[in-house]
């Protein structure tokens, strides 16, 4: 069996960095709703993490245009390939939209976005109406990101645990070991050895 083609190394590293950032953002967002006691601390983490996701999304998009993609797996039907492409585009859109809407929301509320010593400039004028609309939009987009993330994870687990077609190995940061050309060759050799032993006896 030939070696499973992988995504470019830069694509794999950026993928896992973004996955960790998104998972952390979703957990922090859920904690912000459930825990008022730690709200200020969570917000202090939430905002720079959103800025990091925006930067990573931009880097990933540039990398996506520069690096060739491996072909779809043979186990993926034409319909599944269309869904995978659409979900990837939706994920990219959300990775840009959520941080930008959050930035715009804070701008409309006249809340400065601090990233250490750096303060980001406002991108919208002060407006209570805009703030209300953007806050609701931010919540809806966050739920959409959660469901898209879980759908992506479910698809990966299905291919990995049920189909066992090596989909996950295409995105691993390291290169997986090449499978043996004949998975039963070791067992066959064992049977041959037993047969030879019996024949010799």
What is the arithmetic mean of pLDDT over 103-114? 92
pLDDT at 196 over 90: no
How sure is the predictor about 117, in pLDDT bands with cuts at 50, 70 and 90?
confident
Sign of the CA dihedral with 107 first, then 112, 114, and 117 last:
positive
Is 144 within a domain? Answer: yes
Residue 180 domain flag:
no
Q: Is the pLDDT of residue 175 over 80?
A: no
- 181 belongs to a structural domain: no
* Residue 167 within any structural domain of the chain: yes
Query: Has residue 189 been placed in a domain?
Result: no
**pLDDT of res. 36:** 67
Number of domains composing the chain: 1
pLDDT over threshold 80, residue 178 = no
Q: What's the whole-number mean pLDDT along residues 156-184? A: 78
- Please check whether residue 199 lies inside any domain of the structure: no
Domain contains 190: no
Label residues 137-171 b or e (16+ Cβ within 10 Å = b): bbeebbeebbebbeebeebeeebeeeeebbbebbe
Q: Is the pLDDT of residue 108 over 80?
A: yes
Give me the mean pLDDT over the 89-116 stretch.
Answer: 93
Q: 3-state DSSP helix/strand/coil percent for the chain, to nearest 5? A: 70, 5, 25
Confidence band for 52, pLDDT divided at 50, 70 and 90:
very high
Q: Is the pLDDT of residue 71 over 80?
A: yes
Task: Let me know if residue 141 belongs to a domain.
Answer: yes
Instruction: Identify the CATH number of the domain in which residue 72 sits.
Output: 1.20.950
Q: Domain range spanning residue 21?
A: 9-174
């Amino acid at each position: 069996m030939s070696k499973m083609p992988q995504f470019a190394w830069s694509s794999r590293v950026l993928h896992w960095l973004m996955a960790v950032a998104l998972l952390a953002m979703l957990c922090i967002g859920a904690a912000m709703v459930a825990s008022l006691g730690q709200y200020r601390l969570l917000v202090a983490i939430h905002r720079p993490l959103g800025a990091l996701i925006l930067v990573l999304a931009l880097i990933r998009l540039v990398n996506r245009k520069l690096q060739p993609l491996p072909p779809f797996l043979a186990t993926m039907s034409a319909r599944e390939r269309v869904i995978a492409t659409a979900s990837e585009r939706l994920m990219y859109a959300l990775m840009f939209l959520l941080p930008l809407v959050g930035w715009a929301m804070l701008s409309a509320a006249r809340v400065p976005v601090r990233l250490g010593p750096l303060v980001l400039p406002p991108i919208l004028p002060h407006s209570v109406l805009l703030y209300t609309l953007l806050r609701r939009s931010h919540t809806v987009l966050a739920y959409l990101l959660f469901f898209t993330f879980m759908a992506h994870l479910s698809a990966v687990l299905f291919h990995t645990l049920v189909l066992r077609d090596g989909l996950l190995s295409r995105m691993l940061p390291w290169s997986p070991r090449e499978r043996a050309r004949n998975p039963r060759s070791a067992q066959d050799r064992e049977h041959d050895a037993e047969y030879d032993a019996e024949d010799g006896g």
